[in-house]
Amino acid sequence: MRRRNAAVPRGVYNATPIFAARAEGAVVEDVDGNRYLDFAGGIGCVNVGHRAPRVLAAIREQADAFLHTCFSVAPYGKYVELAEKLNSITPGNFPKKTMLVNSGAEAIENAVKIARGYTHRPAIVCFEDAFHGRTMLTMSLTSKTHPYKAGFEPFATDIYRIPYAYCYRCSYSLLYPACNVFCAHHLEDTFKRVVASEAVAAVVVEPVLGEGGFVAPPREFFTVLQEICRRHKILLIADEVQTGFGRTGAMFACERYWIVPDLLVSAKSIAGGLPLAAVTGRADIMDTPGVGGLGGTFGGNPVSCAAGLAAIETLERENLSARAEKLGERFDARARSWKKEFPLIGEVRGLGAMRALELVRSHETREPAKEETERVLHHCHEHGLIVISSGTYGNVIRLLVPLVVTDEQFEEGLNVLEAALASVSVSHAEAAPSRP
Ligand SMILES: Cc1ncc(COP(=O)(O)O)c(C=O)c1O
Each residue's pLDDT tens digit, 192-214 = 999 999 999 999 999 999 999 99
- Whether 325 shows a pLDDT value over 80: the answer reads yes
For residue 433, what pLDDT band results from cuts at 50, 70 and 90?
Answer: low
- Whether 431 shows a pLDDT value over 70: the answer reads no
- Whether 436 shows a pLDDT value over 50: the answer reads no
For residue 242, what pLDDT band results from cuts at 50, 70 and 90?
Answer: very high
Q: Kindly give the pairing relationship between strand 396-399 and strand 388-390.
A: antiparallel
- Whether 239 shows a pLDDT value over 80: the answer reads yes
Q: Which of 126, 204, 206, 241 to mutate to test the pocket of ligand 1 (most atoms within 8 A of CB)?
A: 241
Cα(193)–Cα(182) distance, integer angstroms: 16
Q: Calculate mean pLDDT across residues 395-401.
A: 98
Task: Kindly give the distance from the C-alpha atom of residue 430 to the centroid of ligand 1, in angstroms, as a whole number.
Answer: 39
Q: Kindly give the pairing relationship between strand 159-162 and strand 123-127.
A: parallel
Residue 7 is predicted with a pLDDT of 98
Q: Which of 46, 100, 131 to mutate to test the pocket of ligand 1 (most atoms within 8 A of CB)?
A: 131
Q: Report the chain's mean pLDDT, rounded to a whole number.
A: 97
Q: Residue 421 in contact with residue 390, Cβ under 8 Å?
A: no
Of all protein residues, the one whose alpha carbon is nearest to atom 8 of ligand 1 is 104
Residue 129 near ligand 1, beta carbon < 6 Å: no
% pLDDT > 70, the chain: 98
**Residue-wise over 152-178: b if at least 16 C-beta within 10 A, else e?**
eeeeeebbbbbbbbbbebbeeeeebee
- Whether 279 shows a pLDDT value over 70: the answer reads yes
Neighbour tally for 434: CB within 10 Å: 5
Q: Calculate mean pLDDT across residues 273-294.
A: 98
Q: Which atom of ligand 1 is the closest one to the Cα of 103?
A: 10
Residue 347 near ligand 1, beta carbon < 6 Å: no
